[in-house]
Amino acid sequence: MSKDAVIAKAKLHYSEQEVALLDRAITTASSAHQGQFRRSGDAYITHPLAVASILIDWSMDIDSIVAGVMHDTVEDTSLQIEDLEREFGKNIAFLVEGVTKVGQARSGMKDLKNYLPQTKDNLSKLLIAVAKDVRVVIIKIADRLHNLQTLEHMPAEKQKKIARESLEVFAPMADRLGMGGPRMQIEELAFRYVNPKEFEKSKNLMKKRLGKSTRKLGKIRQDVEKRLKNENIPYSMDGRVKSIYSLWRKLQRFDGNIDDIYDLMALRIIVDNQADCYRTLGILHSMYKPMLERIKDYIAVPKTNGYQSLHTTVLTPSKQIVEFQIRSKSMHEYAEGGLAASFHYHEQKSTANYAKRQSEKLPSQLQWITQLQEIASKLRDGEEISSEQLNIDLFGRRMFIYSPKG
């Protein structure tokens, strides 16, 4: 990734003044990292540039992009936080300091149960950093994603350590932030290093199954598209393929029998608004027989990470089982980008806004962030925190139970 490529991408989304700030940050970071190289042999600056590019793809605000460029300068160069504050302002300096703290806190991290009492100090740093500004973690996730993309240059032992940490910490963290796209990328990249044999086995199973499923889904897709057009519902439709890591996890639950997994490939229907989501669901159920136990209304009851969508699995006249996901455009944007989608290019806010939870885009479903703030406050005041109080499922996944009536 080059400076010219990042600047060219930034010009598509940011103001002239913001691009000038980014340009200045890249010049500063390039000078600070002069003479440093990655394991691949590339100049070190290619990494922060790649992180900045990822953050632009995620629609982050300019402060986050600049912090992405500068994120390793305090830890790996002679620059200090005071230098960044003087050159780029308090907000960017705060974000870089937060990313540095998260990097220090993650050492030896596996799950919350193993934190106390040995790693309380590290946990404190992490919680306080997250609670003050969630953008800190989003930048760190982008950092980890690029490191995974270039992991082949690391020694085998280091590869496995980084990959395992990515699965146990960064993928669940992205999930908690509703960042479905980045979570899937992290899982896919990490799984091949953590368990290469199972990765290849699951990949081959999926390849064989997808060939059959794709052909069968073609006719169903045509029928549904025809009906939606007749009902005058504007839509777009594509196929959603389960990630290899997600498939492997499900295979563990079904004794390796891929025939028992119905959502390997789903048809995703994106409509204009919430009302059309429910209209589309009704149309599908009039065309095919719904499997009642597999109807999930995440619009009425969103997941705790803010995810919203309607899921239904139907049985076609040819006895084929097909899963559909139905969501509005805004729901789809959030499902892919999660909380990062709340920090759009044109919605520049200061760290103070995020610290006070004043961003109107912050989903109310993300109650765990409020819990983090409360815990961080107690830690700053020197209060003791028990393992029970830390049971907020930050790194795990919650289970959602639905009755046939929803």
Instruction: Say whether 263 is catalytic.
Output: no
Active-site residue, from 4, 23, 75, 393: 75
Closest CA to 368 of 98, 182, 131: 131
CA angle 231–327–138, rounded 5-degree value: 155
Distance CA 309, CA 335 (A): 8
Active-site residue, from 4, 57, 76, 259: 76
Look-up of token digits 């559909």: 324
CB atoms within 10 A of CB 268: 17
Instruction: Say whether 76 is catalytic.
Output: yes
Q: What are phi and psi of 238, to 5 degrees?
A: -145, 170
Between the CA of residue 248 and those of 72, 192, 214, 252, 260, what are the distances in Å?
35, 11, 20, 6, 13
Mapping DSSP onto H, E and C, the string for 180-242 reads HHHHHHHHHHHHHHHCHHHHHHHHHHHHHHHHHHHHHHHHHHHHHHHHHHHCCCCEEEEEEEC
Could you give the residue numbers annotated as active site? 75-76
